[in-house]
Amino acid sequence: MRVSLRVAVVACAAVFLLSLLALAGADARTRAPRLTGLRCVPATTAGCRLAVRVTVGRQIQLRGRGLTAGMRVTFRWPRGALATKLRRSRAGWTASVPAGTAAGKVGVTVRDRAGRRSNVRNIIVTAPKLRPLATSLPGELPAVLRGDGMWIWYVSKSDGGNLDAIAARAAAAGMQTVFVKSSDAGKVWDQFSPQLVQDLHARGLRVCAWQFVYGANPLAEAAAGVAAVQAGADCLIIDAETDYEGRYAAAQRYIGALRLAIGPDYPVGLSSFPYVDYHPRFPYSVFLGPGAAQANLPQVYWKAIGGSVDAVSAHTLAHNRIYRSPLAPLGQAYSAPDPADLARFRAIWAGYGAGGISWWSWQSASAQTFGALTLPRPAPVILPDPGWPDLHTGKSGDEVIWLQQHLAAADPAVVVDGKFSAATAASLAAFQTSRGLPATGATDPATWEAVLALPMRPVDWTAAAAGA
């Protein structure tokens, strides 16, 4: 009996010990990731001996425990944060400093799928001074889009539809332009009429029409846009979002029909997602291509996106600048943004050199928001260059299409398909060599500026869609 009891106790102890070891092993496997070091890529990069000093777009190597491909790598500084994904390469675990990351001391962390964040390791990000947009973006912002403006969804819900009140509030805020919804898909809205345009003109306001388009019937949408122009609109803004993703042929049909009816010089703008890299299937390259919109009004809604004004603005500029269209950002006036953020937005984009700013939207802006917009313009904030899109083998999307359309001028063999293949990398490396640039086969600021100086190869997306 005693022997049996002793054996049982020993057996229980052994089972308990094995359970503890199993739990310890499971805990070890599920602990938060930990960074033990960061290095430049390559490690011999000049200036990296005492600290990791990198420019925006360059890679860093991450060393540590619990690292896996696809982990979120966050770069954080006092006024914001941006993130990218961890990837495995010949240099080990690497991540590129996201375009838009601020210059100075930046903390780097990784986060696993369970949301556990690692410790912080610091790098120093360097950036050149940003050249004014007016000198780096060809073309000029249409006069009607210069200055400040506010978007109106429903006239009846904007100061009760009282045009005198609208004009008075606009004057107090220094707004010269109102953007009024004129159609949805192919349906023309009654609120946008010649009488409305005349009445607002008489009160000293410029009146732009904006239409929300989907791509299911691009010819009807173009006809609705033409109707707004015929009603006296001073410009037309295309609001295209999720429904137009992947619809390159529809975008081309829409633009073709619209321009055929209103002519090549009538002022047209595009307003869409600010983060081009988050929407790789959206046809920016069509809407902002030659003969299409002359202005880009990205929807820089920092509070809705969940980032700081600095980070969201910088990311927007870095990824939209490749399309070479004058920028007139659309800021967030809904959901009660902090008045300090409104001032910061105005100051940053003035520092970037944007010729115009507008706000969404009249009916959702609080009295406090309108009050903040009536304050004197803040002094421009001059920030360093936010960088350019980092494209390399394995990337895909509209940014790659835009790159390929330009690169094809130097190498007719380039296939414009939105896939950054080994062939695209080889063509880019050959182009870099021809321009005396490092033949990396990936984009960097100097490469982007050289490539964008080339003409574009047009793509007939409608023919491609017909043959599909």
Rounded Cα distance, 180 and 206, in Å: 11
pLDDT of 440 reads 93
Domain 133-373 carries which CATH code? 3.20.20.80
pLDDT of 463 reads 86
pLDDT of 26 reads 45
Judge whether 420 and 402 are in contact, CB under 8 Å.
Answer: no
User: What's the CATH fold of domain 34-126?
Assistant: Immunoglobulin-like (2.60.40)
Domain ranges of the chain: 34-126, 133-373, 398-462
pLDDT of 213 reads 98
Rounded Cα distance, 82 and 168, in Å: 40
In tens, the pLDDT along 298-323 reads 999 999 999 999 999 999 999 999 99
Instruction: Note the pTM of the prediction, 2 decimals.
Output: 0.89
β-partners of residue 178 are 150, 207
pLDDT of 16 reads 44
Rounded Cα distance, 393 and 391, in Å: 7
Rounded Cα distance, 297 and 58, in Å: 28
In tens, the pLDDT along 212-248 reads 999 999 999 999 999 999 999 999 999 999 999 999 9
Judge whether 101 and 77 are in contact, CB under 8 Å.
Answer: yes
Residues of the chain with pLDDT under 50: 1-28, 468
Query: 250: which DSSP letter?
Result: H
pLDDT of 447 reads 96
Strand residues in 28-70 grouped as ranges (E): 34-40, 53-55, 59-65
